[in-house]
Amino acid sequence: MRILAAMSGGVDSAVAAARAVEAGHDVVGVHLALSRAGGTLRTGSRGCCTVEDAMDARRVADVLGIPFYVWDFSERFRHDVVDDFIAEYRAGRTPNPCMRCNQNIKFAALLERGLELGFDAVCTGHYAKLVDGTAGRELHRASEAAKDQSYVLGVLTAEQLAHSYFPLGDTPSKELVRAEAERRGLAVARKPDSYDICFIPDGDTRGWLADKVGAADGDVVDRAGAVVGTHHGAHAYTVGQRRGLQLGVPAPDGKPRFVLEVRPVSNTVVVGPKEALATAEIAGARFTWAGRAQDEGGFDCAVQIRAHADPVPARAELASGILTVRPEHPFDGVAPGQTAVLYDGTRVIGQFTIDSTVSAVPVGA
């Protein structure tokens, strides 16, 4: 196969590309330039897709003896990921930019261009498995649960899965990948993993949002609507947050209070007891299927609402364009804007962006 290897400059994508070469594929490496700030560099483990990462990726390609290119996707990244991130916070939701990047950049823009140029598949260093089933290609969890990344790939469609290649899916541990990189003479073998939001490399999301969204003082209220404090910008708060609340009125029972809801229209933050974070139902209209589409009606599944959360058994129902999920046991602290990924055992069924939630604890209870 002709393989387009997406090379981030990290060890995972480097070893994935190396394995694709070793398997006999015709491999071309490409690094995605997602920012036009030419001097951008990593800050330790923070950030990714920087100038430093591009140079690291080029050095790996030289060792592997494959062609290497840098493609400028900065404009599309700004529109589809950064602007979407800002818009979601303005709407009082908590988005996952990595999901949007996988959906709109790495497996949409990159794959589209790759197919136009005659490539058969895009190769990445994600830890997930592809299985050819009777109804087409399926996306499954990686062999090693601790490194499984099927959640962030839950946005992939059947067509995208048909042109994907994940060589690390059966690798038992990250240390084995690093050891393999050392054996292959790849300088990124001990490079730290990136974390935090790539376009906010200093990690100050609150300050970054204040600059983009603007900050205005507002009320912090309890579930009954009584004012219990003030805030300096609703965008800085997310459901489940405990720290940073400026509450002038203590709770009647003296227990800590948590953010339950962010209301951007009224610039209000709603707080309440930890018990009120229990969520009995989530729903959304923005969904995709990782393979065969589900028919209207109900089906059993397991649902994961964060990249490293445990899956929860649930009953899902698709009706009138809305996907609703009711877990066997309440979720803890779900925020609109998060992504829920549905599983059947190890297989990813699909995903949806959470638009609404229903608390398991009624107001006044």
Indicate which CATH number applies to the domain containing 327: 2.40.30.10
* Contact between residue 198 and residue 34 where contact means Cβ atoms under 8 Å apart: yes
How far is residue 99's CA from residue 18's CA, in Å, rounded to a whole number? 25
Give the pLDDT confidence score for residue 45 in this predicted structure. Answer: 46
Domain residue limits at 219: 215-272
Catalytic residue list: 101, 198
Q: Is residue 325 part of a domain?
A: yes
Q: Do 115 and 234 share a domain, yes or no? A: no
Of 272, 306, 321, which residue is a domain's last?
272
Q: Is residue 198 part of a domain?
A: no
Helix spans in 162-204 (H): 174-183
Q: Do 50 and 171 share a domain, yes or no? A: yes
Q: Do 43 and 179 share a domain, yes or no? A: yes
Q: Do 255 and 291 share a domain, yes or no? A: no
Q: Is residue 140 part of a domain?
A: no
Q: Do 288 and 325 share a domain, yes or no? A: yes
Q: Is residue 158 part of a domain?
A: no
Give the pLDDT confidence score for residue 39 in this predicted structure. Answer: 45
Q: Do 259 and 281 share a domain, yes or no? A: no
How far is residue 335's CA from residue 350's CA, in Å, rounded to a whole number? 19
Q: Is residue 236 part of a domain?
A: yes
For the chain, 365 residues long, the average pLDDT of each consecutive 10-residue run is: 95 97 97 70 54 91 97 91 89 85 87 94 95 89 88 93 95 92 95 78 79 85 91 86 83 87 89 92 95 88 92 96 96 92 96 92 67
Collapse the DSSP code of 146 into the 3-class scheme (helix H, G, I; strand E, B; otherwise coil) and give the result: helix
Q: Do 282 and 241 share a domain, yes or no? A: no
Q: Do 260 and 288 share a domain, yes or no? A: no
Q: Is residue 281 part of a domain?
A: yes
Q: Is residue 210 part of a domain?
A: no
Residues in the chain: 365
Q: Do 268 and 286 share a domain, yes or no? A: no
Helix spans in the chain (H): 11-22, 51-64, 74-77, 83-90, 97-101, 110-116, 158-161, 174-183, 205-213
Number of structural domains the chain divides into: 3
Q: Do 237 and 252 share a domain, yes or no? A: yes
| CATH number (domain holding residue 219) | 2.30.30
* Contact between residue 149 and residue 125 where contact means Cβ atoms under 8 Å apart: no
How far is residue 336's CA from residue 329's CA, in Å, rounded to a whole number? 19
Collapse the DSSP code of 227 into the 3-class scheme (helix H, G, I; strand E, B; otherwise coil) and give the result: strand
Alpha-carbon torsion (9, 11, 12, 16), positive or negative = positive
pTM of the shown model: 0.89
Give the pLDDT confidence score for residue 143 in this predicted structure. Answer: 87
Q: What CA–CA distances, in Å, run from 112 to 20, 36, 152, 281, 289?
A: 20, 22, 19, 36, 19
Q: Is residue 254 part of a domain?
A: yes
How far is residue 233's CA from residue 249's CA, in Å, rounded to a whole number? 19
- Phi first, then psi, for residue 24 (nearest 5°) are 95, 10
Alpha-carbon torsion (128, 131, 136, 141), positive or negative = negative
Q: Do 10 and 121 share a domain, yes or no? A: yes
Give the pLDDT confidence score for residue 48 in this predicted structure. Answer: 60
Q: Do 108 and 227 share a domain, yes or no? A: no
